[in-house]
Structure 1
Amino acid sequence: MPDSSHQASYVIEKFFEKTPIEEFMDTEFTFDEGEKVPSSIFFGPKCLSSKLYQLSPTEELTLAKMLVRVGPFMVKYLSNVANKFSEENYGSVDRVYVVCKDDKIISESVQLWMIQNYSIKEVIEIEGADHMPMFSAPQDLSDALTHIARIHA
């Protein structure tokens, strides 16, 4: 969750400072010359099954393995965006953070850091949710989104 007082790339950069690259197991990264944060990521099957979809139905994991593609981080682009997330616009929107309690790719400590980094109106925790709560805890996610729409819309 970005904030309005840092560059848009700040959260991604801090995430990689707090998360050792070994945590990503068989994931492949591309780094631009001299950069500490990857420019792209390709999740490996071990990482998908034990860090992102470990509580999701096996059908969803199988589909994820078939559809996985290289994804950009766009850190350079985000670091050059001048005040993209302004307090007048981005800051005027209520933020609710949904903590996926069993997310093993974005640890709970990193999620809590993001919550503390910027003003949050509400924090909702979903027990038994991996990184893909729409698969691992779909009813709980639906209930959370319905609650958010009722209270904060």
Structure 2
Amino acid sequence: MEISSSSSKKHFILVHGLCHGAWCWYRVVAALRAAGHRTTALDMAASGAHPARVDEVGTFEEYSRPLLDAVAAAAPGERLVLVGHSHGGLSVALTMERFPDKVAAAVFVAAAMPCVGKHMGVPTEEFMRRTAPEGLLMDCEMVAINNSQGSGVAINLGPTFLAQKYYQQSPAEDLALAKMLVRPGNQFMDDPVMKDESLLTNDNYGSVKKVYVIAKADSSSPEEMQRWMVAMSPGTDVEEIAGADHAVMNSKPRELCDILIKIANKYE
């Protein structure tokens, strides 16, 4: 889903979280467009309306390919604002490492934000370490898959989990939409890209300005977990949204848009 304005100087690229798709950004896309900004919401591979099945995407790089290709295709001199939500923060991080000169700023919205010197799977591992004993995943289902890298596991987000841990502050219509449109998602925790401690470098990933948007009412990734990631990457700016659940783009779309526009105006 791409909505553009030829007169706009800003180009936001929005990346969804696990099991979601470009559709989840519809409120933010409309608001940014109304403010005159070019906005592209992408489906990662096997997500949203992307035609691939989850077991046809063998690697995290293949999963992130729609974002990598979109940034690679940006016009010379065009500086982008990448916005990653939840698991989408890892695709944004990979893209920052590959194309640091094309990214004016990266915004992590209640997102997995890795740090230089540690592998990209660390935020997900820490999340699972902190929350697994509490039964956070509730009625989510683990689904065995086989792809070009061998056997693996995908996750289906359950309706109770979506209602109580993800969308609990969002409009009922957005929860209903999510229940109809979420697809199985692969976290790629065994992917070599996720395990490479030398992947993210100071010269590339570390050179791009990072802003973390804390969702203060997030029941999926609590504020303490979000601040832990910020502390791991000194120099990261922080914005906070009170009353935002994990689906920040649905529970607090206006507040999120205001922050995104402020960031775009600050980092030319």
User: Distance between the aligned counterparts of 1:69 and 1:103, measured in 2?
Assistant: 21
Aligned to 1:126: 241
Task: Determine if the alignment matches structure 1 residue 10 to structure 2 residue 125.
Answer: no
Q: Please tell me the residue identity of whatever aligns with 1:119.
A: P
Q: Which moved more, 1:109-118 or 1:20-29?
A: 20-29
- Distance apart, 1:40 and its partner CA: 2.4
Give the counterpart of 1:63 among 138, 156, 177. Answer: 177
User: Distance between the aligned counterparts of 1:51 and 1:120, measured in 2?
Assistant: 29
Gaps of 5+ in 2: 1-112, 146-151
Residues 146 and 57 (structure 1 numbering): CA distance in 2 closer, same or farther, change over 3 Å? same
Q: Deviations over 1:66-104 (max 9, x none)?
A: 112110001111334462221110000111100001111
Alignment check: 8 A CA contact 1:97 1:120 kept: no
User: Distance between the aligned counterparts of 2:126 and 2:256, measured in 1?
Assistant: 26
Q: Which moved more, 1:119-128 or 1:88-97?
A: 119-128
- Distance apart, 1:31 and its partner CA: 7.6
User: Distance between the aligned counterparts of 2:143 and 2:130, measured in 1?
Assistant: 19
Q: Deviations over 1:15-40 (max 9, x none)?
A: 111112511211112589xxxxx942
User: Distance between the aligned counterparts of 1:115 and 1:121, measured in 2?
Assistant: 6
Q: Please tell me the residue identity of whatever aligns with 2:138.
A: M
Residues 67 and 31 (structure 1 numbering): CA distance in 2 closer, same or farther, change over 3 Å? same
Q: Deviations over 1:22-66 (max 9, x none)?
A: 11211112589xxxxx94221100000011011111111001001
Residues 145 and 112 (structure 1 numbering): CA distance in 2 closer, same or farther, change over 3 Å? same
User: Distance between the aligned counterparts of 1:31 and 1:127, measured in 2?
Assistant: 37
Q: Deviations over 1:110-139 (max 9, x none)?
A: 101111111233110001111111110011
TM-score normalized by structure 1? Answer: 0.89
Aligned to 1:106: 221
Aligned to 2:162: 48
TM-score normalized by structure 2? Answer: 0.52
Give the counterpart of 1:116 among 228, 231, 255. Answer: 231
Aligned to 1:35: none
Alignment check: 8 A CA contact 1:95 1:119 kept: no
Runs of 4+ off more than 2 Å: 29-32, 78-84
Give the helix-richer structure, 1 or 2: 1
Task: Determine if the alignment matches structure 1 residue 141 to structure 2 residue 256.
Answer: yes
Alignment check: 8 A CA contact 2:230 2:236 kept: no
User: Distance between the aligned counterparts of 1:30 and 1:112, measured in 2?
Assistant: 31
Give the strand-richer structure, 1 or 2: 2
Task: Determine if the alignment matches structure 1 residue 24 to structure 2 residue 140.
Answer: no
Q: Please tell me the residue identity of whatever aligns with 1:70.
A: P
User: Distance between the aligned counterparts of 2:176 and 2:157, measured in 1?
Assistant: 13
Alignment check: 8 A CA contact 1:96 1:120 kept: no
Gaps of 5+ in 1: 33-37
SS at match of 1:24: coil
